[in-house]
Structure 1
């Protein structure tokens, strides 16, 4: 069913913290959790999905117009974000919405669904993972090195290398924002092809420095119990959460299907918006007897 909230922006108190959401579109309800952590929902606006679904974009706690934890910037673990999302599901009283999470947000919606599987009609894990342990950061660093080699002697290579090397020194919102803006080219399959989109994203990006716990995310031993229909999505050229992570999620989940976007990195909804929307709408259509995407007539 659609969100009980009308179109536009709303703030409600959830788990004693102001929770901001923006509602757009009509149709089946899909609650969207952005990544980071520390990024508000603005970059995830998806007009092609709003034409068919009621999209509820939430600003995660600590970001955008939502409130902050009393210990800010500490305490923003996946568990705490999942607590907030589960409480939001109860507060909104939406019957079995879809949950769409991007990047770190995919960890959050997956954890929330593991806790409340009967409350969710379907799960959309976009650039997510079942685990970030082992050599996660080492593998990402190797792909950064590859990006710099392929784009050597360009401003993109210089900004990406400097930003990656500066990650350990981040201690403020301003430093976090500057670092992510510098890294952005590496998140795209082809920065030159997506130059306008990348520039617009860089202009609007404002990040909040948040600190969670130090434990790697790992839910592999719990996924076999999650029978919620799931769509796993990844960009072929995503340097940090690419196809290998999508494969592992799909292998561990009992009712999962996978879509890879061949000309995308971390932001398939921006690099291939039509293909991204079709994948989501076809998934919704296949899990709802009373709904069909336009692609199915």
Structure 2
């Protein structure tokens, strides 16, 4: 299955992989800036998000994104991943390092992280609300948890729409299939990396960022003192500048 994706611009490829609170629409503020800077921008919906249907069996998110690259005849790309999309991007960069020339992880997740008490409590509360049929309550819990204090009402409404849609799509499925996750060896990543954390995010993701920055070759670690878990939505102009500076330093010469 080829997951839903769209393409804009021309130049070196940049693939955007969304947070699992959102879908590919979360990158609306980034696409114009990246295309204006001379990049071919691809954004995709992981299975069960946005316009991609729920999986009908075990599935491999990193392989799905790689399949999009193959379909578009993209030999090498930069990957920008947010949260769960960061986990997918990191895995792709480790499994197929020759396909990735730069890696940016915005509050990225990793498959082998042991969740904090706070993150476990969030997951438990979300499960309770969904089991009780309170999709609205579960949606509001996610909006409150994952956006930092400086996110405006329009941003909160945007995240609310994406999260609500994901719940509706996934809850309508008759069977749930887990993703296949391949253990990541950080030293296998050859692309230079940018690792971004938000000071108002859960401690889990700040700790993950520190761990990734220490383990990824040639990494740059930035903590944004104003950000929650979704900085590219909270202050897109600041994050756009950060990403464009990073991409300019790693842009292929041909």
Query: TM-score interval w.r.t. the shorter chain?
Result: 0.7 to 0.9
* Equivalences for residues 54-93 of structure 1 within 5 A: 54-71=40-57, 75-76=58-59, 80-93=60-73
Query: Counterpart of 2:25?
Result: 42
Q: Which moved more, 1:106-115 or 1:182-191?
A: 182-191
Q: CA RMSD in A?
A: 3.0
3-state DSSP of counterpart to 1:65: coil
3-state DSSP of counterpart to 2:144: helix
* CA distance in structure 2 between the partners assigned to 1:269 and 1:100 by the alignment: 11
What number of residue pairs does the alignment pair up? 244
Query: CA offsets per residue over residues 245-277 of structure 1, 9 Å max, x none?
Result: 111001111121122221110111122212211
* Equivalences for residues 1-297 of structure 1 within 5 A: 17-36=1-20, 39-45=22-28, 46=30, 47-52=32-37, 53-71=39-57, 75-76=58-59, 80-134=60-114, 136-141=115-120, 165-168=125-128, 170=130, 179-190=138-149, 194-205=152-163, 206-207=165-166, 208-209=169-170, 211=176, 213=178, 219=184, 222-239=185-202, 241-288=204-251, 290=253
3-state DSSP of counterpart to 2:170: coil
* 8 A Cα contact 1:236 1:242, kept in partner: no
Q: Which moved more, 1:85-94 or 1:45-54?
A: 45-54
* CA distance in structure 2 between the partners assigned to 1:86 and 1:176 by the alignment: 32
3-state DSSP of counterpart to 2:16: strand
* CA distance in structure 2 between the partners assigned to 1:50 and 1:139 by the alignment: 38
TM-score, scaled relative to structure 2: 0.82
Are the structure 2 counterparts of residues 217 and 275 from structure 1 closer, same or farther at C-alpha, using a change threshold of 3 Å? farther
- How far 1:122 sits from its partner (Å)? 0.8
* CA distance in structure 1 between the partners assigned to 2:48 and 2:65 by the alignment: 13
For structure 2, the residue ranges without an aligned partner over 5 or more in a row are none
Bigger relative contact order, structure 1 or 2 (CA pairs below 8 A, ≥6 apart): 2
TM-score, scaled relative to structure 1: 0.71
